[in-house]
Structures are given as structure tokens and as C-alpha cells.
Chains A and B, each alone.
Chain A
Amino acid sequence: MDLAPRAPLQASARPPAGSLWLRGWLVPVGSVLAGLFAFGLFVAAIGHNPLVVFATIAEGGFASSFAWQNTLLRAAPLILTGLAVALPAQAGLVVIGAEGALAFGALAASVVAVPIASQLAPQSVPLAWLAGGLAGMAAGGAWYALIGLFRARRGLNETISSLLMSYIAIAVFNHLVEGPLRDAASLNKPSTLPLPAEAMIGSLPGLEVHWGLLLGIVACLLAQIVISRSTWGFSLRVAGGNPRAAMLVGLPVGTLIVLACVAGGASAGLAGAIEVMAVHGSANASVLAGYGTTGILVSFMARHQPLAVIPVAVLMGGIAAAGSLLQRRLDLPDATTMVLQGLLFVAILAGDAFRPKDQR
């Protein structure tokens, strides 16, 4: 990898570095606190004690080993689908079709990993996972390559095309799962042939969270390094920041756009593959649980920074885990978690106004 110095895109007069660093942290933390405060007002307005609600959120999402594992397990797929939005965003694209790439990733993994696993001795089953994971990444990447090509060659708006193509992907997924790829034994829940239970991806040592969490974290780290430390990443950011200028200096903007899309699609495809190989065992309608959609929220809240995707995904996982306890303990409706998510989202976007200019 060709390491280039991290050149600031804008060399105007700026405040001292320490203050920048502080604001870089203060703003997101302050935004989250402001969002939580607004949520406290909301629950008070509907007749609940905010302190009890916050204590319940802490207990449900973060206050015990069980709660943390609950949170992390729910966060695992969101890291990868968040990355699926964050990577194309580096090239200035708003691609929101991760659910479609996830669907194809899940299909590809089930088609590839299941027959391979049945041929392998138990100790070599990880080879089937590798094949399934690569197949999922390839399928998701290929699907997103189309979005990139449409954008680069024809100027088609990638937000619209990715959203609409996502519906096509889901329809194809359902057609294949309920038709040609259906396991005849899956009567009332049409599914592809399942991985045997002993061939499923297991949990991380000492945890009850599958390996998808670690893969997601590694993917984010790699993405962050490539984006902020490599020439490729630098070119990508230039192309995203000002495509015309990038073209003038001779950067292959079209290729960069397609590659950024492929990387995003591969990330969502991997999420689908892991859902099949670690959770469901087969591809079926339950796999499409909206992780791709939540990934959009995650990436925007993380300001499309791959490293920030990790804590934001964990926050979302924690909110989901906490929402579960809020329902059971306080009889709050499920929509409460949507309100909390929404308020945090708005608060974080509004917090942008307080960021130093070149960090926006």
C-alpha cells in the first residue's frame, strides 16, 4: 500500500489542534446527551419517570455482561451494513440499497457454503465459511457495481437506483427462495437448504456473540486505514469532495466511484453471508430484517467515518436491547425505541453546526 501524507483538503487558518481534537469529541458526545435529554422530556410527557426509563435503558443495553452481549450481537450486522453506506459515501455517493446487497450475499453464501460444507470433514468446515463469505461479498459487490456503473457512465442518481434496485433484489431473493432454491422440506417457511447445525459459525471465545462482530470491526479498521492513509483513499476523497477537480488532475473518477460501490456492496453481502452461516443456517425471508436500512442511519450518525461506525452500531444495538426491556418492564410501546433513535439522529445531525468547518 502506498502511504501518502495526510494532506488537509483545506489549508485555511484553523484553531489550534488541541481545541480541534476536543471539539471533535465534544460535539458527538454533546449531541448524544442532547438527544437523550429530549428523549427524557418525551417520556416524561407520556407519563413515565425519565430516571426510571434511563435506568432501564442502562440495564437492558449496557449494565451487565448479558446486556453487553445482547447489545453486541444486535450490533454485529449493523457494523457491516453501516460500512456499506460509509464506503460509497467517501466517493460522495449516497447509496442506500444495502438490504438488496445483503439479500444477494445471503443467497450466494447459502448456495456456495451448504454444498461445500456437506463435502468437508468437520475440522475443515471453516473452508466452507470462507467460500460462503467470499461468495457473499462477490454477490453484494457485483450488485453494487451496477449502481456504480450507472452513476459513472450514465449519471444515474445512485440514491434512487440503489433504493429501487433493492426492491428488485428482494423480489429476486423471494422468488429464488420460494421457487428454484427452496428446500422441499421447508413447508410453511420457504428456505434454501440449511447448513447442518454443527457446520454453523460459532461464537467468539468466551462470548455468546458470533464471529461476525469481529469481522465487522476488522473491516472498519481496514477501511479507515485505506481511506485515511493510502493514495487510493486520498484519491477517493478528492473524487468525492470535488469530482471536477479530481478529473482535472487526472484521477480516474469513474473507476473510483465503481470501486467504492463494490466495496460497500461487498460489506453488505458479507453481512448477509454471516446472517446465513452464523444465525439462520439458510436463506429465507427472516434474513431480510431491515439491517440494510438501519445501516443508513448508522453511517449518517457516524458521519460516514468507518471507525465511528463501530460505536454507533453498538449504540443502535444497545438501543434495540434496551427497547426490549423497556417494553417488558415499563410496558412502553416498541415505537419508543424509534423515537429515541430519531431524536439521537436529529441531535447528531444538528450538532454538525458546531463542528470545525473541515470536519463537516
Chain B
Amino acid sequence: MNPSRRSLLRAAGATGIVSATGLPLAVHAQAPITVGVIYVGPRDDFGYNQAQAQAAAILKKMPGVKVVEEEKVPETVAVQKTMEAMINQDKASLIFATSFGYFDPHVLKVAEKYPKVRFEHCGGLWTDGKHPKNVGSFFGYIDGAQYVAGVVAGHMSKTKKLGFVAAKPIPQVLRNINAFTMGARSVDPSITTRVIFTGDWSMPVKEAEATNSLIDQGVDVVTCHVDGPKVVVETAEKRGIMSCGYHASQAALAPKGYLTGAEWDWSTPYKELVEAARNNKPMINFLRGGLKEGFVKMSPYGASVSAAAKTAGDAARASLTKGDFVIFKGPLKDNKGGTAIAGGTKLEMTNVELEKMNYLVEGVVGSIPA
């Protein structure tokens, strides 16, 4: 763990747990461990679940680590029983529950029943005093990567119209739409992003319709936040426009038009959490990171990306990685003419205020339903 992440955690107020001492140090540095990983969708979805499965595949190569996996586990009693079965039938002592909807009530309930097992949940907001001590939440600040993708898209777009296929208007999604748009508009303020909400995480038909509709409106770079970006990227390629990926790399699906993409690198938190568990180190309840910490990364640039776009993308990535650039700072207008962030206010990536985002920034064409 590097010092910067320490300070990051301190900012989030979780150091009390992380630096808690008193637990016995491990006798064997390489104690064997069985890790259970649970996915809500198929492992090969070219998206959210694939990104998690790629990290699990890296865990499998670590000596002494046994990984048991289960895919397409719904956010119902099924996941409760899968977690329990991993503990009882496979002797897992660390569980990665990777879907947001697993957290409350499922992970919380099972964690109370098995206080000696560690439960690490992706995306949740673990709160001291409210949630069991053997539960942790890890997540990545992917808006930085979205911003970089936006910069590249902004350079490559000729029509100055970008498209975004989004699942639900929840804070996490809005933040990505906004970061992508702001990245593009940092290149050219006349650029706009058209957004279409499909209403759910996996709606392949609607995603294709939305992509086609965006293209018909003159959009020439499209990206998305849905569970599996496969359909969006493939449709874009078929129609001859450019695309930016999400979750994992979809470069293989669009050899011509794929520019770059905001990807997770879950192997970073996975490895850290496995090492903590197998060496009996204190539970890590709250773990976050962005580009700098290696929790998120960019897809390698596609063949069509121009030199200027690459240079600009690399520069944006470098300043975000260094940490001297803050995406969400005032004055920032929303797309209804109101003030989203007042002048003088800087919201660092770690600021929990950003996890409540409920607006679309200036330059986004579209509105939040309901």
C-alpha cells in the first residue's frame, strides 16, 4: 500500500479501522486461502462482469490462492445462499460480492452470521458503526478515466456531437456522463453529448436502438454506461462511427472505430484484499482508488486515434494521475442553466458529495427521467 492511498483513506475517515492494530501477525506469509467471487451476469459479457472475472483470473495465478466462482447470481436469496455455500462447501474465507445490489440486505445479513469470514463488496459505501466489521467496500473513481476518454473523443469528433447510452440515472452513471462530457468540452466547448437512458443495466435491444438513434442524430463518437457495452460498440462499428469503451476493453469488437475506453483494474484491490486476508491483517473496510492507484485504466488507443488526440489524452491522464487536476469544481453549470457547483468549490475525487450527484452538466443534451 503506497502512502498516497493511506492519505486517501484518511480523507475518507476510515483510517481508524485500517490502521487498527493488535491482531496477531501471520506466521506464514503465504498462507493458503480460498476466495469466492460472485458475479451478477455472465463472466464473458465484455463489460462489468468480465472486468471482475479478469481480476479473479489474476488471483488464480497467485500461489496458494484458490478461487471459486459463480456467475449470473441474482440479487436475491440466491446470492445469500451462494455466499453461505462458498463458506460451507468450499471453505472460502474471503468473498468478493461484485454487484452493487448484493450489499443491502444480502451481504450485510450473511456477514453477521459468519463473523470470521471477510466480505468485500464492490461499490457499496461501508459505514463504521452501521455495518458489520467483517464487511468492506471497494470501488474505483472511474470518472477520471471517463474524462480522458472524453478528451480523446473531443479531439476525434468531426460533428461535435457525442452520444452516451446510459442505464439508469443514478449518481454513479451521471458522474460518468458528466466527466466524459467535460473532458470533450475541455477540447472544444461547442461539443455536446446526447444521452439516452435505457432504464436498466442489461437491455441489449434498447441499447442498439439508442445507439442507432444517436447516430441518426449526427453523433460520431458513442460511449455508454451499461453492464455489457458489447451491443453499443458493435452497433457503432457497424454504422461506421467511433466508440469509447467502458468496464473492460471492447477493442476486439470494433477494430476500426474503437478509440479508447475507461476500464476497471480490479486486480489492484483484489490482490491487496487477498493479501490482507491470508496474512490475517486487519480488515480493510473502505478501499477506493482511481487512475493514480491503478484501480482504473485506459484501453490502449485504437488504430484510428490521431497523434494530437493521443497527446491530449496522455496529458489529461498524466495530470489526473498526478492529482493536480480536479474535474468537478465550481463554477459549474448544469444543463438547465442552474448552478451545479458554486464558484470556488473544489470537489476532489474522494468527496462523498460526488456520490450523490443528481444533475447533468452544461453540454449534455438530455434530462434525468422521473
Contact surface of A with B, Cβ cutoff 8 Å: 59-60, 66, 70, 73-74, 171, 174-175, 178-180, 187-190, 197, 275, 279-281, 284-287, 289-290, 320-321, 324-325, 327-329, 331, 333-334
CB-CB under 8 A for A324 and B172, given A188-B100, A188-B123: no
Q: Specify which chain B residues have a CB less than 8 angstroms from the CB of A327 in the assembled complex.
A: 69-71
Q: How far is the CB of A165 from chain B (nearest CB, A)?
A: 17
Q: Are A325 and B123 in contact (CB under 8 A)?
A: no
Show 26 residue pairs from A and B whose CB-CB distance is below 8 angstroms, ordered by the A residue: A59-B89, A66-B84, A66-B85, A66-B89, A70-B85, A73-B77, A174-B200, A179-B369, A187-B356, A189-B100, A190-B168, A197-B105, A279-B77, A281-B104, A287-B76, A289-B75, A290-B74, A320-B78, A321-B85, A324-B82, A324-B85, A325-B89, A329-B90, A331-B69, A334-B42, A334-B71
Set of chain B residues within 8 Å of A328, measured between Cβ atoms: 36, 68-70, 85-86, 89-90
Q: How far is the CA of A3 from the CA of B55 in the complex (A)?
A: 64
Distance of A320 Cα from B88 Cα, bound (Å): 17
Q: Find out whether the CB atom of B85 lies under 8 angstroms from the CB atom of A325.
A: yes
B81 on the A face (CB < 8 A): yes
Using a CB-CB cutoff of 8 Å, which residues 85-125 of chain B contact chain A?
Answer: 85-86, 88-90, 100-101, 103-105, 123
CB proximity of B369 to chain A, nearest CB, Å: 8
Residues of chain B with a CB closer than 8 A to A290's CB = 74
Give A116 to B68 CA distance when docked, in angstroms.
43
Contact mask for chain B residues 159-178; partner A; CB cutoff 8 A; 1 contact, 0 none: 00000000011111000000
Residue of A nearest to B92 (CB): A328
Q: Mark B35-61, 1 if CB is under 8 A from A, else 0.
A: 010000010000000000000000000
Flag if B170 contacts A188 (CB, 8 Å): yes
Most buried by A among B88, B90, B105, B356: B105
Q: Are A178 and B370 in contact (CB under 8 A)?
A: yes
Interface residues of B (CB under 8 A from A): 36, 42, 68-78, 81-82, 84-86, 88-90, 100-101, 103-105, 123, 168-172, 199-200, 355-356, 369-370
- From residue B120, how far is it (CB to closest CB) to chain A in Å? 17
Q: Is the interface of A mostly helix, strand, loop or mixed?
A: helix
Residues from chain B with a CB closer than 8 A to the CB of A74 are: 77-78, 81
Counting from the closest, the 8 A-B pairs by CB-CB distance are A179-B370, A286-B75, A328-B68, A289-B74, A334-B72, A70-B81, A327-B70, A289-B76
A290 to B85, CA, bound (A): 22
The answer to whether B170 touches A187 (Cβ under 8 A) is yes
Nearest-CB distance from B100 to chain A (Å)? 6
Please give, as numbers and ranges, the residues of chain B lying within 8 Å of A331 by CB-CB distance. 69
Task: Return chain B residues, CB-CB under 8 Å to A59.
Answer: 89
Instruction: Write out the residue numbers on chain B whose beta carbons fall within 8 Å of the beta carbon of A325.
Output: 85, 89
Contacts of B76 in A (CB 8 A): 275, 279-280, 286-287, 289
Residues from chain A with a CB closer than 8 A to the CB of B170 are: 187-190
For residue A173, give the distance in angstroms from its CB to the closest CB of chain B.
11
Instruction: With CB as the reference atom, state the residue of chain B lying closest to A324.
Output: B82
Q: Are B101 and A285 in contact (CB under 8 A)?
A: yes
Residues of A within 8 A of B72 (CB): 334
A197 to B104 CA separation, bound complex (whole angstroms): 11
Taking the closest CB of chain A, its distance from the CB of B60, in whole angstroms, is 11
Tell me, in angstroms, the Cα distance from A189 to B103 when the chains sit together: 10
What are the residues of chain B within 8 A of A321 when measuring CB–CB?
81, 85
Measured CB to CB, the closest approach of chain A to B50, in angstroms, equals 14
**CA of A287 to CA of B100 in the docked complex: distance in angstroms?**
14
Which of A60, A178, A275, A334 is B168 in contact with, Cβ under 8 Å? A178
Residues of A with C-beta under 8 A to B199 = 171, 174
When the two chains form the complex, which single residue of B74, B89, B171, B369 contacts A188, counting CB atoms closer than 8 Å? Answer: B171
**CB-defined contacts of B355 to chain A, threshold 8 Å:** 187-188
A174 contacts which chain B residues (CB < 8 A)? 199-200
> Closest residue of chain B to A177, judged by CB?
B370
Q: Closest Cβ of chain B: how far from A102's Cβ, in Å?
A: 12
Contacts of B71 in A (CB 8 A): 327, 333-334
B contact residues around A287 at 8 Å (CB): 76
**Within the assembled complex, what's the spacing in Å between the Cα atoms of A74 and B71?**
17
- CB pair B70–A324 under 8 Å, yes or no, is yes
Complex alpha-carbon distance, A329 and B82, angstroms: 12
Chain B residues with CB below 8 A from A286, complex form: 74-76, 101
What is the distance, in angstroms, from B354's C-beta to the closest C-beta of chain A?
11
Q: B77 contacts which chain A residues (CB < 8 A)?
A: 73-74, 279
